[in-house]
Chain A
Amino acid sequence: MKKNLKENFVAYSYLTPFLAVFLVFLAYPVFYSMWISLHKATIYTSWYSPFTSMKYVGFEHYINILTDIEFWWSIGLTFIYGLLTIPTGIMLSLLLAILLNNKIKFKSFFRSAYFLPNVLDLLVIGIIWILIFSPKYGLVDMVLAKIGIHNAFPDGILGSPYLCLPAIAFAMVLKGAGFGMILFLTAIQNISESVYEAADIDGASWHHKLMYITIPLVKPIILFMTITGTISCLTAFTEIYAMTSNTGGPTVQVFGHTLRSANLAGYHLYRSFSEGAYGKAAAISFVLLGIALLISFINMKWLKSDN
C-alpha cells in the first residue's frame, strides 16, 4: 500500500504540468463555453471584454440554430465536402502506398515529395491556390487557353458556385494524400511477404490480393483516417477562410435564401464568432461536437462489424 501511494505520487508528479495546462486551457473552456452557449450578450462591448453583460437565454441559441436554414445548409455542404474529400483521400493515399510499395528507385524522394505539402501552412497554400485558380491569369485558365479553350471560367474556378467547393476539396486532397500514404505504407510493409506468396501459390491475381489481403489488413488505418477526416471536415475553417478570401464562397440562391456555396460548418461557426455572437458560436460548437461523436460512433461500429 505504501508502494502504491508512492507510485501514484510519482505518476501524478509527471502528469501535473500537463494536467494543469489541460484544466486551465482546455477543460475549463469547455464548461465556460457551455455556459456561454446558454447566454447572450445584451450590449456590444469591446473585443477585450466580451462578457460584461450576459443574459441567460436558456436553449434559445440551440433552437435558433436548429431552425436556421443557413446552419443546415452549412451542414449539408460539410457533408458534401466530406464525401468529396474523405473517400478520395483514402483511395488516393492507398493507391500511392501500393505504388510505392513496389521495388522502385527514388522511393524516399517520392515519399518526401508526397509528404511535404502536409507540413506547409494552410493559409499560404490557400493563397497560392487562389492564384492558380484565378480567372484569365490563373495557371488553370492559362493552360486551358494554351490548348484552345479560352475564358473557360469567366468568374474563376473559385468564383463559380458549383466549382468552388470541389476545387477546395481537390486542393486539400492533394495536400493531405501524403500523410495517409505514409500510414498505409507502414501498414502494408507490416504485412508479411509470405502472405502474398501464399496467395500467389493459391492463384490470386493482383486485384484478389488487394481485395482479400491488403485492404482487410489496412482496415484500422481506414478507420483512423475516416474518423480524423470526419473531425477535420467538421472543423474545416482555414482552407475556406484562405481560399474564399474570407467570404465563404460565391453566393447561390436556394428557395429565396442567399447562401454561400462554400460556407462549411466550421467556417459558419467562425463567422458567428467573428460577428461577436459568442453564445451562438458556442452553441454551434456543441451541435458540431454531437455530430462528430455520432459519426465517429457509426464509423467505428460499421468498420469494426466484420471483425
Chain B
Amino acid sequence: MKKITLSALLYIILFGGAMLVLLPLFWMILTACKQPGQALEFRFLPDSVLESEIQAVYQPITDKAIVIFEFNPNDCPDIPVSSISVAGTFNGWNSSANPMVKDNNIWRTTLHNIDIGNHEYKFVVNGNNWIQDPANKPTTTDNCLITLQAGLNQNKKTLANQTYIQGKTLFIAIDRGNAESLQVKIFNQTINLLKNDQNYFTATVEIPETEIGKHAITYTILEPQNFWDGMKKIYTFNNFKKVLYNRDFPFGQFFLNSLVVAAGTALLTVILCTMAGYAFAKKNFFMKKQLFAMLLSTMMIPGMIFMVPQFAIVNHFNWINTYQAMIVPHLANIFGLFLLKQYISTIPNSLFEAANIDGANELQIFKIIIIPLSLPIMVTLFLLTFVGQWGNFLWQLIVNTPDSTYRTLPVGMALFRGQYGQDWEMMMAGACFSIIPIAILFLIAQRFFIEGMTTGAVKE
C-alpha cells in the first residue's frame, strides 16, 4: 500500500514538474489561439450558460416614465438613414441628446425618467432632417404626440428587452429569436422564462417588499450555450493567418532566411568540427595539446567581446546584408569541437588500423568510419547549432540594415513586437512560428541529441 502511494506521489511530482517546465510553451500556444481580447481573460473553456450583462429596470417614481422609440427604415424607403435621433419636449428639442442605435435593421432608443404627461417629438435623420414618426403619425399638429403614465412603457413597442414594472409586478419580455430556452437571475433566484406566441420569452415576477422603493431592479439573462459555439468565441486560428499574411511583416521571407542561416551554419559547423575533432582525437601532430588547451580556454570569454571586432571584419569584407555574414563567423564552434573530439575518441583504434591494412585512404576512412560512427554526435551538433542560430537575434540584427532582404525571424520578431507589442494573441502566434519548428525538430531527433550530449559532456 505504501509502495503504491509512493509511486503515485512520484508520478504526480514528475507530471506536475513537467507541466511547470512546459508552462511557457503551453501558455504561448494557448494565447496564440485566443480571440482578440481573450488573451488576458482567465477563461479556457466556454461557460455552459452565457450570462448577459446586468440589465436594469427602473422602478416608477410617481412622475417618471419609460419610453421606447423605434424607427423602421422600411417605413420611409425614400430617406437614406445614416444616423437618427429623437428630439422632443422631454429633451428640449435637442437633436443630439438621444441618438438611436441600429439593431437588426431597426433603430431604437430607450429613454428613462421622462416626466409623465403629454409630450411632442420628432425624429432627426442624418442630423438635420426633421421627420415625423411614420408609426405614430400626428393627426392635429406637425409634431408626433405621446402620453406617458408612470412606470409604463407607454407606446407599447415590441422591443428586444421589453421589460417594465407596473405597481409591484415586474413584467419580463426578452426577444431572443434563436434561443431554445432562457432563464433570468433576479432577486437571488433563477426563473425559467416561457416562450409566447410572438417568440418572446416572458415571465411575471412579484417584487419583494424589500426591493420596493429602490431606484432600479437589476437582473441578468442566462442563455444556455452550445460548447462549440462557446469555443469559437474564445479560440481562433486567425492569429496565425494574420501573422502569415501580414504586409508589413514578410514572414515567409524571414522564415526562409532563418532556415538558410541556421541550416547552413549548422551543416558547415558540423563539417568543420568533425574534421578538426577527428584530428584532435586520432592524430598526433605538433603542438596538439597546447592547441587544444588554447581553443578550450576561449570558451570562457564572454561572447560580447567578439561582437565589435567581428562586425568590423564582416564590414571590411563587405558582407553586410549577406548570408555569409550571418554564417561564417560562427563556424569555429569550440564546444562542438570538444563534443566531436570526445566522441571520436571512443571509436576503437583497431577500426582505423583495420581500414589502414585494408588499404583505405584518409578520405575513405573519413567516409566509412568517422561519418557513420559519429553520426549521433554530428546530428546533435547540427541541432545545437541550428537552435542557436535560429534564435541568434543580436548578431543578425547588426549585420543587416533595417531594409535588408536577409533579415531573419528573430529580427522580424523584434520588429513585430514593436508593432504589435500589446496585441498578445498576435505576438504569441508569431512566437509559435519561431519556436514550433525547433520543438518538432528536437522531438524527432532527441534520441541522438541526448545520447550525443551525454557522451561528450559526461566523459569530460
Contact = CB atoms under 8 A, between A and B. Distances in A.
B305 A289 contact: yes
Q: Is the interface of A mostly helix, strand, loop or mixed?
A: helix
B279 interface: yes
A232 to B, nearest CB: 10
Given A116-B439, A124-B391, A224-B457, A18 B272 contact: yes
A94 interface: no
B14 A100 contact: yes
Given A117-B24, A119-B387, A273 B308 contact: yes
| Secondary structure call for the B interface | helix
Contacts of B276: 14-15, 17-19
A123 interface: yes
Contact of B453 (A30, A182, A288): A182
A157 B188 CA distance: 38
A212 interface: no
B17 interface: yes
B308 A104 contact: no
A281 B355 CA distance: 52
A124 B303 contact: no
Interface string A22-38: 10111111101100100
B302 A26 contact: no
Interface string B124-166: 0000000000000000000000000000000000000000000
Interface stretch (A62-70, A131-139, A255-263): A131-139
Contacts of B25: 116-117, 120, 128
Q: Which among B10, B275, B302, B424 has the highest number of chain A CB atoms within 10 Å?
A: B302
A91 interface: no
B256 interface: no
Given A104-B10, A124-B434, A278 B308 contact: yes
B271 to A, nearest CB: 8
Contacts of B13: 99
Nearest to A278: B308
Nearest to B276: A18
A30 to B, nearest CB: 7
Contact of B307 (A120, A224, A273): A273
Interface residues of A toward B: which range?
35 or more
B332 interface: yes
B20 A281 contact: no
A71 interface: no
B309 A8 contact: no
Contacts of A119: 383, 387, 438-439, 442
Contacts of A47: 398
Interface of A: 7-8, 10-12, 14-15, 17-19, 21-22, 24-30, 32-33, 36, 47-51, 96, 99-100, 102, 104, 109-117, 119-125, 127-129, 131-132, 137, 139, 142-143, 145-146, 171, 174-175, 177-179, 182-183, 186-187, 190, 220-221, 224, 231, 234-235, 237-238, 266, 269-270, 273, 278, 281-282, 285-286, 288-289, 292-293, 296
15 contacts: A17-B331, A25-B313, A29-B306, A50-B308, A111-B450, A113-B18, A113-B22, A114-B18, A121-B410, A121-B435, A121-B438, A123-B410, A139-B42, A235-B302, A269-B304
A-B pairs with the 7 shortest C-beta distances?
A29-B309, A121-B391, A137-B40, A11-B285, A18-B276, A32-B309, A11-B283
